[in-house]
Amino acid sequence: MTGEDEAVGRIVGSRYRILDRLGAGGMGTVWRARDETLKVDVALKEVRLPADISARERAERVARARREAEHAARLRSHPGIVTVHDVLDDAGLPWIVMELITQSDSLLDRLRARRLSVDEVARIGADAADALAFAHDRGVAHRDIKPSNILLTQDGRVLLTDFGIASHHDDSTLTATGVVGTLAYIAPERFGDGPPDLRSDVFSLGVTLYQAVEGALPFGGENTAAMLAAILFEPPRPGLRVGPLGGVLWAMLAKVPAERPDARTAATLLRQASRPMTITAPTQRPAPHPPHSQHSQHPPVSPRLPPA
Protein backbone atom coordinates (compact mmCIF):
# COMPACT_ATOMS: atom_id res chain seq x y z
CA MET A 1 0.00 0.00 0.00
CA THR A 2 1.22 3.47 -0.82
CA GLY A 3 2.08 5.59 2.23
CA GLU A 4 0.03 8.77 2.60
CA ASP A 5 3.00 11.16 2.56
CA GLU A 6 4.42 9.36 -0.46
CA ALA A 7 1.12 9.31 -2.34
CA VAL A 8 -0.08 12.91 -1.95
CA GLY A 9 0.66 14.80 -5.13
CA ARG A 10 1.22 11.68 -7.21
CA ILE A 11 -0.40 11.56 -10.65
CA VAL A 12 -2.18 8.26 -11.34
CA GLY A 13 -2.97 7.22 -14.89
CA SER A 14 -1.52 10.50 -16.22
CA ARG A 15 -4.72 12.21 -15.09
CA TYR A 16 -5.65 11.94 -11.40
CA ARG A 17 -3.65 13.88 -8.79
CA ILE A 18 -3.91 12.39 -5.27
CA LEU A 19 -4.94 14.98 -2.66
CA ASP A 20 -5.50 13.07 0.59
CA ARG A 21 -6.62 9.72 1.99
CA LEU A 22 -10.32 9.15 2.62
CA GLY A 23 -10.17 5.68 4.15
CA ALA A 24 -8.88 2.13 3.91
CA GLY A 25 -10.45 -1.32 3.94
CA GLY A 26 -9.66 -4.94 3.28
CA MET A 27 -9.47 -4.47 -0.47
CA GLY A 28 -7.53 -1.22 -0.66
CA THR A 29 -7.20 2.47 0.10
CA VAL A 30 -9.52 5.20 -1.15
CA TRP A 31 -8.04 8.61 -1.97
CA ARG A 32 -9.51 11.96 -2.83
CA ALA A 33 -8.04 12.91 -6.21
CA ARG A 34 -8.32 15.73 -8.73
CA ASP A 35 -9.26 14.88 -12.28
CA GLU A 36 -6.83 17.22 -14.04
CA THR A 37 -8.74 16.85 -17.33
CA LEU A 38 -12.26 17.65 -16.13
CA LYS A 39 -11.16 19.73 -13.11
CA VAL A 40 -13.37 17.87 -10.64
CA ASP A 41 -12.59 15.83 -7.53
CA VAL A 42 -13.16 12.07 -7.55
CA ALA A 43 -12.60 9.12 -5.24
CA LEU A 44 -9.73 6.94 -6.41
CA LYS A 45 -9.44 3.40 -5.07
CA GLU A 46 -6.00 1.79 -4.94
CA VAL A 47 -6.04 -2.00 -4.73
CA ARG A 48 -4.16 -3.37 -1.74
CA LEU A 49 -1.98 -6.40 -2.42
CA PRO A 50 0.06 -7.92 0.44
CA ALA A 51 3.69 -8.52 -0.40
CA ASP A 52 3.66 -12.16 0.72
CA ILE A 53 0.87 -13.49 -1.50
CA SER A 54 1.53 -15.94 -4.32
CA ALA A 55 1.55 -14.95 -7.95
CA ARG A 56 -1.73 -16.82 -8.43
CA GLU A 57 -3.50 -14.98 -5.63
CA ARG A 58 -2.09 -11.69 -6.84
CA ALA A 59 -3.58 -12.33 -10.28
CA GLU A 60 -6.92 -13.26 -8.68
CA ARG A 61 -7.04 -10.06 -6.65
CA VAL A 62 -6.20 -7.92 -9.65
CA ALA A 63 -8.89 -9.70 -11.66
CA ARG A 64 -11.38 -9.25 -8.82
CA ALA A 65 -10.67 -5.53 -8.70
CA ARG A 66 -11.28 -5.26 -12.43
CA ARG A 67 -14.55 -7.12 -11.96
CA GLU A 68 -15.54 -4.60 -9.28
CA ALA A 69 -15.59 -1.87 -11.90
CA GLU A 70 -17.55 -4.05 -14.32
CA HIS A 71 -20.12 -4.97 -11.69
CA ALA A 72 -20.53 -1.44 -10.45
CA ALA A 73 -20.92 -0.17 -14.01
CA ARG A 74 -24.05 -2.35 -14.29
CA LEU A 75 -25.44 -0.59 -11.22
CA ARG A 76 -24.56 3.03 -11.90
CA SER A 77 -28.14 4.09 -12.65
CA HIS A 78 -29.34 3.43 -9.09
CA PRO A 79 -29.23 6.47 -6.76
CA GLY A 80 -28.40 4.28 -3.76
CA ILE A 81 -25.17 2.83 -5.21
CA VAL A 82 -21.90 4.76 -5.48
CA THR A 83 -21.13 5.34 -9.17
CA VAL A 84 -17.96 3.93 -10.71
CA HIS A 85 -16.69 6.08 -13.58
CA ASP A 86 -13.62 4.26 -14.84
CA VAL A 87 -10.89 1.68 -14.16
CA LEU A 88 -7.28 2.25 -15.19
CA ASP A 89 -3.87 0.64 -14.88
CA ASP A 90 -0.95 2.29 -13.13
CA ALA A 91 2.28 0.52 -12.21
CA GLY A 92 0.68 -2.80 -13.12
CA LEU A 93 -2.27 -2.41 -10.73
CA PRO A 94 -5.89 -1.37 -11.33
CA TRP A 95 -7.18 1.89 -9.84
CA ILE A 96 -10.93 2.48 -9.76
CA VAL A 97 -12.33 5.97 -10.30
CA MET A 98 -15.53 6.53 -8.32
CA GLU A 99 -18.05 9.20 -7.50
CA LEU A 100 -16.82 11.33 -4.60
CA ILE A 101 -19.45 11.44 -1.88
CA THR A 102 -19.03 14.63 0.13
CA GLN A 103 -20.66 15.60 3.41
CA SER A 104 -21.32 12.02 4.40
CA ASP A 105 -20.53 9.54 7.16
CA SER A 106 -20.49 5.80 7.07
CA LEU A 107 -23.09 4.03 9.18
CA LEU A 108 -20.15 2.91 11.33
CA ASP A 109 -19.15 6.54 11.94
CA ARG A 110 -22.72 7.42 12.82
CA LEU A 111 -22.97 4.55 15.30
CA ARG A 112 -19.78 5.66 17.02
CA ALA A 113 -21.26 9.12 17.47
CA ARG A 114 -24.71 8.28 18.80
CA ARG A 115 -27.41 5.65 19.11
CA LEU A 116 -29.91 5.50 16.25
CA SER A 117 -33.64 5.18 16.73
CA VAL A 118 -35.62 2.20 15.47
CA ASP A 119 -37.23 4.40 12.80
CA GLU A 120 -33.84 5.62 11.56
CA VAL A 121 -32.47 2.09 11.36
CA ALA A 122 -35.59 0.87 9.56
CA ARG A 123 -35.33 3.66 6.97
CA ILE A 124 -31.61 3.10 6.40
CA GLY A 125 -32.19 -0.63 6.10
CA ALA A 126 -35.06 -0.21 3.64
CA ASP A 127 -33.00 2.05 1.37
CA ALA A 128 -30.00 -0.30 1.52
CA ALA A 129 -32.23 -3.29 0.76
CA ASP A 130 -33.68 -1.42 -2.24
CA ALA A 131 -30.16 -0.92 -3.61
CA LEU A 132 -29.37 -4.59 -2.99
CA ALA A 133 -32.53 -5.65 -4.80
CA PHE A 134 -31.48 -3.57 -7.81
CA ALA A 135 -28.06 -5.29 -7.81
CA HIS A 136 -29.55 -8.75 -7.29
CA ASP A 137 -31.94 -8.26 -10.21
CA ARG A 138 -28.80 -7.85 -12.35
CA GLY A 139 -27.11 -10.91 -10.88
CA VAL A 140 -24.64 -9.00 -8.71
CA ALA A 141 -24.03 -9.87 -5.06
CA HIS A 142 -22.18 -7.44 -2.82
CA ARG A 143 -20.72 -9.98 -0.34
CA ASP A 144 -19.41 -7.41 2.15
CA ILE A 145 -22.40 -5.57 3.58
CA LYS A 146 -21.40 -4.00 6.91
CA PRO A 147 -21.72 -0.58 8.59
CA SER A 148 -18.56 0.86 7.00
CA ASN A 149 -19.90 0.10 3.50
CA ILE A 150 -23.16 2.04 3.97
CA LEU A 151 -22.78 5.79 3.48
CA LEU A 152 -25.22 8.33 4.93
CA THR A 153 -25.23 11.80 3.38
CA GLN A 154 -26.36 15.00 5.04
CA ASP A 155 -29.23 15.31 2.59
CA GLY A 156 -30.62 11.94 3.68
CA ARG A 157 -29.30 9.60 0.97
CA VAL A 158 -28.27 6.06 1.83
CA LEU A 159 -25.58 4.61 -0.45
CA LEU A 160 -23.95 1.21 -0.78
CA THR A 161 -20.27 1.36 -1.58
CA ASP A 162 -17.32 -0.99 -2.10
CA PHE A 163 -18.46 -3.74 -4.38
CA GLY A 164 -14.79 -4.78 -4.29
CA ILE A 165 -15.46 -8.42 -3.52
CA ALA A 166 -18.76 -8.64 -5.36
CA SER A 167 -19.44 -11.64 -7.53
CA HIS A 168 -21.60 -12.01 -10.60
CA HIS A 169 -23.42 -15.21 -11.47
CA ASP A 170 -21.47 -15.33 -14.74
CA ASP A 171 -18.10 -15.36 -12.95
CA SER A 172 -16.66 -18.81 -13.44
CA THR A 173 -12.96 -18.01 -13.80
CA LEU A 174 -12.33 -16.41 -10.41
CA THR A 175 -11.68 -18.48 -7.30
CA ALA A 176 -10.96 -16.89 -3.95
CA THR A 177 -8.82 -18.59 -1.35
CA GLY A 178 -10.99 -19.00 1.71
CA VAL A 179 -14.10 -16.98 2.46
CA VAL A 180 -13.86 -13.32 1.50
CA GLY A 181 -15.62 -10.80 3.71
CA THR A 182 -15.83 -9.67 7.34
CA LEU A 183 -16.50 -12.60 9.67
CA ALA A 184 -19.16 -11.06 11.92
CA TYR A 185 -21.39 -10.28 8.91
CA ILE A 186 -20.92 -13.42 6.77
CA ALA A 187 -23.94 -15.67 6.24
CA PRO A 188 -23.67 -19.30 7.44
CA GLU A 189 -24.01 -20.85 3.98
CA ARG A 190 -20.90 -19.06 2.75
CA PHE A 191 -18.78 -21.28 5.00
CA GLY A 192 -20.03 -24.41 3.24
CA ASP A 193 -19.76 -25.89 -0.22
CA GLY A 194 -23.26 -25.01 -1.38
CA PRO A 195 -24.06 -22.75 -4.32
CA PRO A 196 -23.93 -18.97 -3.78
CA ASP A 197 -27.18 -17.34 -2.77
CA LEU A 198 -28.06 -13.67 -3.19
CA ARG A 199 -29.85 -13.80 0.16
CA SER A 200 -26.45 -14.02 1.85
CA ASP A 201 -26.42 -10.23 1.43
CA VAL A 202 -29.78 -10.08 3.23
CA PHE A 203 -28.26 -11.91 6.20
CA SER A 204 -25.32 -9.47 6.28
CA LEU A 205 -27.71 -6.51 6.17
CA GLY A 206 -29.69 -8.09 9.01
CA VAL A 207 -26.54 -8.32 11.15
CA THR A 208 -25.75 -4.69 10.31
CA LEU A 209 -29.21 -3.43 11.27
CA TYR A 210 -29.31 -5.49 14.46
CA GLN A 211 -25.97 -3.94 15.45
CA ALA A 212 -27.25 -0.47 14.55
CA VAL A 213 -30.31 -0.69 16.77
CA GLU A 214 -28.90 -2.83 19.61
CA GLY A 215 -25.33 -1.53 19.78
CA ALA A 216 -23.98 -5.09 19.68
CA LEU A 217 -23.65 -7.97 17.22
CA PRO A 218 -26.33 -10.68 17.12
CA PHE A 219 -23.71 -13.45 17.07
CA GLY A 220 -20.81 -12.90 19.43
CA GLY A 221 -17.90 -14.79 20.86
CA GLU A 222 -14.64 -14.34 22.70
CA ASN A 223 -12.63 -15.40 19.66
CA THR A 224 -12.98 -16.23 15.97
CA ALA A 225 -13.94 -19.85 16.59
CA ALA A 226 -16.67 -18.90 19.07
CA MET A 227 -18.11 -16.27 16.73
CA LEU A 228 -18.10 -18.71 13.82
CA ALA A 229 -19.91 -21.31 15.94
CA ALA A 230 -22.53 -18.73 16.93
CA ILE A 231 -23.12 -17.74 13.29
CA LEU A 232 -23.47 -21.37 12.23
CA PHE A 233 -25.48 -22.86 15.08
CA GLU A 234 -26.87 -20.36 17.59
CA PRO A 235 -29.94 -18.10 17.36
CA PRO A 236 -29.35 -14.36 17.45
CA ARG A 237 -29.15 -12.77 20.86
CA PRO A 238 -32.51 -11.53 22.13
CA GLY A 239 -33.05 -7.91 21.16
CA LEU A 240 -33.75 -5.34 23.87
CA ARG A 241 -34.41 -2.33 21.62
CA VAL A 242 -35.49 -3.79 18.26
CA GLY A 243 -39.18 -3.08 18.85
CA PRO A 244 -41.16 -3.40 15.59
CA LEU A 245 -37.97 -4.39 13.75
CA GLY A 246 -37.79 -7.72 15.57
CA GLY A 247 -39.88 -9.75 13.16
CA VAL A 248 -38.08 -8.72 9.98
CA LEU A 249 -34.63 -8.95 11.60
CA TRP A 250 -35.20 -12.52 12.81
CA ALA A 251 -36.35 -13.44 9.29
CA MET A 252 -33.28 -11.81 7.71
CA LEU A 253 -31.03 -13.68 10.18
CA ALA A 254 -32.46 -17.13 9.43
CA LYS A 255 -29.73 -19.76 9.09
CA VAL A 256 -31.23 -21.24 5.91
CA PRO A 257 -31.27 -18.87 2.88
CA ALA A 258 -34.65 -20.14 1.68
CA GLU A 259 -36.21 -19.02 4.97
CA ARG A 260 -35.03 -15.41 4.52
CA PRO A 261 -36.90 -12.75 2.55
CA ASP A 262 -35.25 -11.60 -0.66
CA ALA A 263 -33.88 -8.06 -0.69
CA ARG A 264 -36.99 -6.50 -2.22
CA THR A 265 -39.29 -8.14 0.33
CA ALA A 266 -36.93 -7.11 3.13
CA ALA A 267 -37.15 -3.49 1.93
CA THR A 268 -40.95 -3.63 2.08
CA LEU A 269 -40.97 -5.18 5.55
CA LEU A 270 -38.46 -2.64 6.86
CA ARG A 271 -40.57 0.25 5.59
CA GLN A 272 -43.62 -1.23 7.27
CA ALA A 273 -41.65 -1.54 10.52
CA SER A 274 -40.83 2.17 10.40
CA ARG A 275 -44.52 3.04 10.23
CA PRO A 276 -46.23 1.51 13.26
CA MET A 277 -49.92 0.83 12.79
CA THR A 278 -52.29 3.26 14.43
CA ILE A 279 -55.23 1.45 15.97
CA THR A 280 -58.36 3.55 16.24
CA ALA A 281 -60.76 2.56 18.99
CA PRO A 282 -64.27 1.81 17.71
CA THR A 283 -66.99 4.33 18.52
CA GLN A 284 -68.69 3.33 21.77
CA ARG A 285 -72.46 3.06 21.58
CA PRO A 286 -74.67 2.62 24.65
CA ALA A 287 -75.93 -0.92 25.00
CA PRO A 288 -79.64 -1.13 24.09
CA HIS A 289 -82.02 -1.73 26.96
CA PRO A 290 -84.18 -4.85 26.62
CA PRO A 291 -87.77 -3.92 25.76
CA HIS A 292 -90.32 -4.16 28.53
CA SER A 293 -93.44 -6.04 27.58
CA GLN A 294 -96.69 -6.57 29.37
CA HIS A 295 -96.41 -10.21 28.35
CA SER A 296 -92.99 -10.76 29.82
CA GLN A 297 -92.68 -14.06 31.67
CA HIS A 298 -90.33 -12.48 34.19
CA PRO A 299 -91.68 -9.19 35.51
CA PRO A 300 -89.21 -6.78 37.07
CA VAL A 301 -88.23 -7.63 40.63
CA SER A 302 -88.46 -4.85 43.20
CA PRO A 303 -85.43 -4.56 45.39
CA ARG A 304 -85.84 -5.70 48.94
CA LEU A 305 -85.05 -3.32 51.68
CA PRO A 306 -83.10 -4.59 54.67
CA PRO A 307 -85.15 -5.16 57.77
CA ALA A 308 -85.43 -2.21 60.13
Task: Provide the 10 A C-beta neighbour count for residue 53.
Answer: 13
Question: What is the secondary structure of 216-285 as a DSSP string?
Answer: S-SS--SSHHHHHHHHHHSPPPPPSS-GGGHHHHHHHT-SSGGGS--HHHHHHHHHHHTSPPPPPPPPP-
In a 13 Å sphere around the CA of 261, the CA atoms on its Cβ side amount to 21
pLDDT in tens, 199-230: 999 999 999 999 999 999 999 888 999 999 99
The one catalytic residue in 127, 130, 144, 197 is 144
Residue 308 pLDDT class (50, 70, 90 cuts): very low
Instruction: Count, in order, helices (H) and strands (E) of the chain.
Output: 8, 11
Q: What is the pLDDT of residue 85?
A: 85
Q: Domains of the chain by range and CATH?
A: 8-98 (3.30.200.20), 104-170+177-273 (1.10.510.10)
Q: At what angle are helices 199-214 and 118-137 packed, to 10 degrees? A: 170
| Helix locations, the chain, DSSP H | 4-7, 55-74, 107-113, 118-137, 199-214, 224-233, 246-252, 263-273
Q: What is the pLDDT of residue 202?
A: 98
Indicate the average pLDDT of the chain: 82
Top-ranked range on mean pLDDT: pick from 158-172, 233-247, 279-293: 233-247
Q: How far is CA 285 from CA 39, 282, 288, 290, 292, in A?
A: 72, 9, 9, 15, 20
Please confirm, yes or no, whether 144 is among the known catalytic residues: yes
- Using CA atoms, how far apart are residues 220 and 34, in angstroms rounded to an integer? 42
* pLDDT reading at 1 higher than 90: no
- For residue 11, the surrounding DSSP H or E stretch is strand 11-12
Residue 103 pLDDT class (50, 70, 90 cuts): confident
* pLDDT reading at 231 higher than 50: yes
Average pLDDT (14-42) is: 89
pLDDT in tens, 152-178: 999 999 999 877 555 555 544 333 334
For residue 62, which amino acid is it?
Answer: V
Q: What is the pLDDT of residue 64?
A: 74
> What percent of the chain has pLDDT above 90?
50
CB 36 within 8 A of CB 51: no
- Using CA atoms, how far apart are residues 267 and 186, in angstroms rounded to an integer? 20
Average pLDDT (80-84) is: 89
Average pLDDT (269-290) is: 61
Average pLDDT (12-17) is: 93
Contacts of 247 (CB under 8 A, 6+ apart): 269, 273
